[in-house]
């Protein structure tokens, strides 16, 4: 049985699994995490359940979140894990370092769950492996503006050309991208095609160290060093920053956003380069065609659109895996005392009146202090509502009013 329970929940006999959970389901003891991006790695925060992921995914999460993961078991690509009535095998997803699909195998059928995947080679990854299956559960994450992304090599050439033009104008070419995945590919782009020094935000530097530890050599400098400051001042480098980093106080920066789904604010604020580490819609349909499933279940994003296209274009029954509201656990009563302590802790972090503090960075710091995610989110919402902090959707960050 497959259902949605704040994640993809699977039951075979008495064996229960939860894949990429957004929240805890207390009746499911084992959770599996496909990759380290925050919206899929929330399961690492759950204290009770046993977590399964690749070693690289756990290391990336720990570097990004600033906290260690406990109660964790490694799963390796190409090796099967016996878990009750099922076997679980991981297959490369081609998305970011350590990203996988999970194949759930029983005695009479198999199911593959693919969240974010890339079905083409990049500078750092190979195209996703295809595992033929009876049922394919597929996340409908694809660009909404077009079915097909532009040629990768052409986009890379445009990025390099733009950066060199910025340098000639004595401006620092600054590329805003996701901290895990695209940021590292951009570092490799400039390492390969130019001799420009690459300066990166501290979070990107920490993630890039995990890539290097796992054999992916990347040459970059942390923006916090004196040498990096000098290179920025002289406009003799390229800078790579998190996508929601506030650059308004840096007049020497010329900003471009590297994303396949820009927001309106990003389109207005800078140039857009449609480089992606995810499959576009045509690539997802090609992936389904090669997997040859009997049934496709779609989740999240454009789930309805993808299910309809699978049915109409490929002749494979496709349907949306809707939430089973009866299966959702009741929300816990908020601990008012702990929320208050969390508010005090966050206000202790936000001290400089002229700085914007990223939401995810504040969450990571609070998590490292032992606060639970639901308490942190409630504290941030209250601080925003009572105007103790000002939230900006442009930067996804908070500042003092």
Task: Please give the Cα distance from 328 to 7 (Å, whole number).
Answer: 10
Q: Which of 105, 68, 69, 70 is nearest to 90 (CA)?
A: 105
CATH number at residue 79: 3.60.15.10
Per-residue pLDDT of 10-24, as tens digits, reads 999 999 999 999 888
CATH number at residue 355: 1.10.10
Average pLDDT (345-349) is: 92
Banded pLDDT at 151 (limits 50, 70, 90) = very high
Task: Please give the Cα distance from 330 to 336 (Å, whole number).
Answer: 18
Return phi, psi of residue 266, to 5°. Answer: -65, -40
Residue pair 206/60 in contact (Cβ under 8 Å)? The answer is no
Domain boundary among 273, 291, 312: 273
Domain boundary among 288, 305, 327: 327
Residue pair 97/60 in contact (Cβ under 8 Å)? The answer is yes
Residues 45 and 171 occupy one common structural domain: no
Domain boundary among 232, 253, 273: 273
Per-residue pLDDT of 368-395, as tens digits, reads 788 888 889 899 989 988 889 988 765 6
Return phi, psi of residue 204, to 5°. Answer: -65, -35
Rg (CA), the chain: 22
Residues 137 and 156 occupy one common structural domain: no
Q: Which of 37-46, 182-191, 225-234, 245-254 is most confident?
A: 182-191
Residues 135 and 185 occupy one common structural domain: no
User: Per the structure, how many domains does the chain have?
Assistant: 3
* Alpha carbon of residue 172 to chain centroid: 26
Residues 167 and 217 occupy one common structural domain: yes
Average pLDDT (283-294) is: 96
Residues 318 and 200 occupy one common structural domain: no
Residues 315 and 376 occupy one common structural domain: no
Q: Over pLDDT 90: what percentage of the chain?
A: 67
Q: What is the pLDDT of residue 79?
A: 93
Per-residue pLDDT of 104-145, as tens digits, reads 999 999 999 999 999 999 999 999 999 999 999 999 988 765
Residue pair 142/304 in contact (Cβ under 8 Å)? The answer is no
Residues in the chain: 401
Task: Please give the Cα distance from 310 to 291 (Å, whole number).
Answer: 12
Residues 7 and 119 occupy one common structural domain: yes
Residues 291 and 168 occupy one common structural domain: no
Q: What is the pLDDT of residue 52?
A: 97
> Which residue has tokens 């990025």?
159
Q: What is the pLDDT of residue 327?
A: 44
Segments forming the whole domain that contains residue 213: 152-273
Q: What is the pLDDT of residue 355?
A: 80
Residues 96 and 174 occupy one common structural domain: no
Average pLDDT (76-81) is: 94
């Amino acid at each position: 049985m497959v259902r949605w329970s704040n994640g993809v929940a699977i039951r075979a006999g008495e064996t229960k699994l939860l894949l990429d959970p957004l929240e805890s389901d207390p009746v499911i003891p084992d959770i599996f995490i496909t990759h380290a991006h925050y919206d899929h790695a929330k399961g690492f925060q759950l204290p009770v359940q046993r977590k399964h992921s690749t070693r690289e995914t756990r290391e990336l999460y720990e570097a990004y979140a600033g906290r260690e993961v406990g109660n964790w078991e490694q799963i390796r690509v190409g090796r099967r894990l016996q878990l009750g009535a099922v076997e679980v095998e991981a297959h490369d997803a081609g998305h970011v370092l350590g990203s996988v699909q999970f194949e759930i195998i029983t005695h009479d059928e198999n199911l593959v769950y693919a969240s974010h995947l890339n079905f083409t080679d990049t500078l750092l990854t190979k195209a996703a492996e295809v595992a033929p299956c009876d049922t394919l559960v597929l996340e409908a994450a694809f660009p909404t503006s077009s079915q097909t992304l532009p040629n990768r090599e052409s986009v890379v050439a445009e990025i390099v050309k733009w950066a060199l033009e910025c340098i000639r104008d004595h401006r620092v070419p600054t590329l805003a991208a996701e901290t895990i995945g695209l940021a590292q590919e951009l570092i490799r782009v400039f390492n390969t095609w130019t001799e420009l020094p690459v300066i990166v935000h501290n979070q990107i530097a920490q993630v890039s160290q995990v890539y290097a530890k796992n054999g992916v050599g990347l040459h970059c400098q942390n923006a916090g060093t004196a040498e990096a400051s000098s290179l920025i001042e002289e406009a003799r480098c390229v800078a790579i920053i998190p996508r929601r980093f506030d650059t308004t106080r840096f007049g020497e920066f010329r900003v471009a956003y590297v994303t396949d789904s820009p927001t309106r604010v990003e389109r207005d604020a800078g140039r857009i380069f449609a480089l992606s580490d995810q499959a576009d819609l045509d690539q997802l349909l090609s992936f389904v065609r090669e997997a040859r499933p009997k049934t496709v279940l779609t989740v999240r994003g454009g789930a309805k659109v993808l299910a309809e296209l699978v049915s109409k274009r490929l002749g494979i029954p496709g349907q949306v895996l809707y939430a089973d509201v009866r299966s959702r656990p009741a929300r816990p009563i908020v601990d008012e005392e702990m929320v208050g302590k969390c508010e005090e802790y966050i206000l202790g972090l936000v001290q400089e009146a002229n700085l914007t503090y990223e939401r995810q960075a504040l969450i990571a710091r609070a998590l490292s202090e032992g606060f639970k995610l639901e308490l942190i989110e409630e504290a941030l919402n209250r601080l925003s509502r009572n105007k103790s902090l000002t939230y900006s959707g442009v930067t996804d960050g908070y500042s003092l009013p």
